[in-house]
Amino acid sequence: MIFIKKIGIEILVTILYYSGIPSLFRELIQKNRVTILFFHDPKVSIASRNFRWLSDRYNIISLDHYLAARKKGDMRTLPPKSMIITFDDGHIGNYELLRLVKEYNIPITIFLCSGIVNTNRHYWFKYSELDSSDSLKILSNQKRLNILSESGFYPEKEFGYPQALSKDQILEMQEYVNFQAHTVFHPCLPRCNDEEARFEIEQSKKQLEQDIGLAINALAYPNGDYCARDIQFLQNAGYSCGLNGGHGFNNEKTDLYSLNRLPIGDGDNIKLLAIKASGIWAFLKFFFRTPKTRSTTQMSKKTGTPLYSETGYI
């Protein structure tokens, strides 16, 4: 069954790729909008291929460039088909991106978990004893932590090797790379109680600024999940913007605390990259989401704000 599904997806991808729709989207819909992509931990050869392909077709700008245009209220300072490239979590493999960023002369933003960088602590969703991290994402934060603890994991546990970038690596990269916040330990924010969510949002900015000397103005919501309460905490903590992980583009009116990003898989081939970067894939996924997927895109009981988690990406 999985094999048949895989073949079906491959056929759909091939049809979409050769249909010309991605380039049509690029020229018509993305031309006057800002597209933000997010990756995680691609191999350097794949990242290199992606950077080359994207920079040949889009104008890669920095997140700050877009935020400055928003502040000025003048989007005409942005080139057509503007694209912002981001990476979530701060994986140690991201260090390899430094030479690519220099080679292609493109700005990127990496969102860091302040409690994991520069330590031997690990990302909970990469813990090898877990069958799947997806089922834990829908539990309350405390329940998730309890289950992890029963299997031998806790957020501050030091392992024998790092999974995240070190302070030295971040300092070496920061001339070329914009580093921003991705909470402290990467919980699903809407599953946290008020105290936990406030801690994750406030401390991430504080720790990255005080311990590493970074200037933090943006936070990418872990797993793309957030609610109105979290936006309020971001504003109170002094962030200028928050980024989700679902579908859609950005213009002069997009809510700065719900900036839209499109997920790209770390191992996606060029056809998938073309389709996903054009926004078609996320649109189709959202439009044809199954009842099971729909149930994860719930409304927050507390705020009435949709909790975006349709991507399945961390």
Neighbouring C-beta atoms of residue 146, cutoff 10 Å:
11
* Interface with Zn ion, residue 225, by CB under 5 A: no
Residue 308 Cβ, how far from Zn ion at the closest point, in Å?
13
Total residues found in the chain within this entry: 314
Residue 219 Cβ, how far from Zn ion at the closest point, in Å?
11
In which residue are the tokens 């790729």 written?
Answer: 17
20 secondary structure, DSSP code: T
Which structure tokens are listed for 171? 């300092």
| Choices 164-172, 214-222, 262-270, 271-279; region in contact with Zn ion by CB under 5 A | 214-222
CA torsion angle 92 96 102 108 (round to 10):
-40
CB closer to Zn ion, 187 vs 222: 222
CB closer to Zn ion, 101 vs 164: 164
The answer to whether 169 touches 116, Cβ cutoff 8 Å, is no
Mapping DSSP onto H, E and C, the string for 113-145 reads CCCCCCCCCCCHHHCCCCCCCHHHHCCCHHHHH
Binding residues with Zn ion: total (CB under 5 A): 4
CB closer to Zn ion, 89 vs 225: 89
Mapping DSSP onto H, E and C, the string for 192-214 reads CCHHHHHHHHHHHHHHHHHHHCC
Cβ-closest position to Zn ion: 88
* Interface with Zn ion, residue 314, by CB under 5 A: yes
Residue 211 Cβ, how far from Zn ion at the closest point, in Å?
20
Residue 123 Cβ, how far from Zn ion at the closest point, in Å?
8
Residue 182 Cβ, how far from Zn ion at the closest point, in Å?
6
* Interface with Zn ion, residue 116, by CB under 5 A: no
Residue 5 Cβ, how far from Zn ion at the closest point, in Å?
26
CA dist., res. 277 & res. 281, Å (int): 8
| Choices 22-30, 68-76, 222-230, 271-279; region in contact with Zn ion by CB under 5 A | 222-230
CB closer to Zn ion, 88 vs 196: 88
CB closer to Zn ion, 33 vs 261: 261
| Choices 29-37, 75-83, 202-210, 221-229; region in contact with Zn ion by CB under 5 A | 221-229
Q: Which of residues 41-100 bind Zn ion (CB under 5 A)?
A: 88-89
CB closer to Zn ion, 17 vs 123: 123
Mapping DSSP onto H, E and C, the string for 264-307 reads CCCCCCHHHHHHHHCCHHHHHHHHCCCHHHHHHCCECCCCCCEC
CB closer to Zn ion, 22 vs 222: 222
Which structure tokens are listed for 14? 């091939």
Catalog residues that contact Zn ion under the rule CB under 5 A: 88-89, 222, 314
